[in-house]
Amino acid sequence: MASNYSFDVVSKVDMQEVDNAINQTLKEISQRYDFKGSKSTVELVKNEVKIASEDDFRLKAVIEILKVKLIKRGISAKALDFEKVEDASMGTVRQVGKIVNGIEKEKSKLIVNEIKSSKIKVQTQILDDELRITGKNKDDLQAVMALLRGKDFGIELQFINYR
């Protein structure tokens, strides 16, 4: 029997599923009556989703369609961090959504502080863009998982390598 148990806390996004959601969004835009003749586009460029449309109303509608498609494909809407709406050429507007992959240092520190303030007897370790939680008792690890699921850190958390 192992003396220490552990698991990793990560925030990863399946880029293939994001691509599939974008393709489904484009298909729905081309078929919807309210987008007839509109020049709304959605494209994936590296770790960014670029959305352009003719006006704010259509831009927000495209974003909502994209979020619905992402959720249907098993990706949280928190995986996209949208920037400010920008004016583009010829009266169009655009918005860039960065795909959040990994846990930033500030969020890691916030999560570690939350775990420490709960007084659960586990050790936390920050490893680049993920966290490793170790403890002598499996029940403590389960309690940490429940604690992290109950809090909103602004990103989607997954728990992997449970040993």
Residues 21-37: pLDDT tens digits?
A: 999 999 999 998 888 88
d(CA 159, CA 12): 10
Check: CB of residue 43 under 8 Å from CB of residue 22: yes
Residue ranges, comma separated, of all CATH 3.30.70.860 domains in the chain are: 5-12+102-160
Token output for 14: 């399946």
In this structure, are residues 134 and 119 in contact, taking their beta carbons and an 8 Å threshold?
A: no
Task: Give the Cα separation of 104 and 124 in Å (integer).
Answer: 15
Domain 5-12+102-160 has CATH 3.30.70.860: yes
Q: Which amino acid is at 77?
A: A
Residue 127 pLDDT:
86
Q: Tell me, what's the pLDDT at 76? A: 87
Q: What is the pLDDT of residue 2?
A: 52
In a 10 Å sphere around its CB, with 0-12 CB exposed, 13-18 middle and 19+ buried, how is residue 106 labelled?
Answer: exposed
Ranges for all domains in the chain classified under CATH 3.30.70.990: 15-99
Edge-to-edge, what's the strand order for the sheet holding 158-160?
Answer: 123-127, 130-135, 5-10, 158-160
Give pLDDT < 70 ranges for the chain: 1-2
The CATH number of the domain covering residues in 15-99: 3.30.70.990
pTM: 0.81
Which pLDDT score is estimated for 24?
94
